[in-house]
Structure 1
Amino acid sequence: MAPEYIIDGLFSTKSDVYSFGVLVLEIVSGKRNRAFSHRDHHFSLLGHAWTFFNEEQWLDIVDACMKESINLPEVKRSIHVGLLCVQRSPEDRPSMSEVHMMLSSEWALPQPKKPGFFTERDLVGESSSSTNSNNKGLSISKFSVSEVDPR
């Protein structure tokens, strides 16, 4: 989901563009954004793709099963367009008609900005002080839940 929808509840056609960008990056990488993990960092798939793309290591984003049979310029362009679609601010994202033009032409593309939700995640069990080996990544809450019944 687009950052503006999660934070402010605002939805627009640019929210759909964001979702399209996530989908493009998931297809190219062969990984799901929600379940993505990497041994060297805790970025989401979007942060991972943006970091590697900016370091010009964009081929490391591509699913290993696809690397032998891909059209390199098309895949690089797809990653680039996907990153333009997931930029944090809706105003920075292209419209879907612009996305279509970007994917079907060879004109120069602007440099993408950081995607929404770029921050590193703190994965449960790796740095939590409330976790021990018996909990296997679960934390224990000391709060109780009370149901309130109207009179």
Structure 2
Amino acid sequence: MQRVDVIPSLVLSGYALGRIAAQDAGNDAPAAQWRVLSLLDQNGSRRVGELAAASRTTQPGMTRLIGGLEREGLVLRSPDPEDSRAIVVDITPRGSQELSAWREEFRDTLAPRFADLVDEDWAALTRAAEILAAHTTTEPTGALR
């Protein structure tokens, strides 16, 4: 595999693993729900527009999604303390618990697919996960070679 193909391959494999885990676990909650809860869990409260941009959806679409999450008690909307015209969204303790349970469900569902890996493979995946995590929280520094 060429260097320029590695990152796209990892991204596509990640999407595939997410779909497989959702299907195998019978989890019918929309992926957008988990994406929003993850963003709030990792980054703290956010405006609806920020969540829409981060999720690559429209603000009206995000407002509908947030409304459903709020009805389920997973998020809480409140006025932005810096601009009372804007709304910020926070994850609730129940939302954090549901997100944790979803992550555990996915981990347990996917575990059998990786049961045959040897220590060297686990070391490679662990290092890849560390690299990906480090590069998803920073600005790009250069082009692939």
| TM-score between both structures, scaled by the size of structure 1 | 0.27
- Give the helix-richer structure, 1 or 2: 2
| TM-score between both structures, scaled by the size of structure 2 | 0.28
- Give the strand-richer structure, 1 or 2: 2
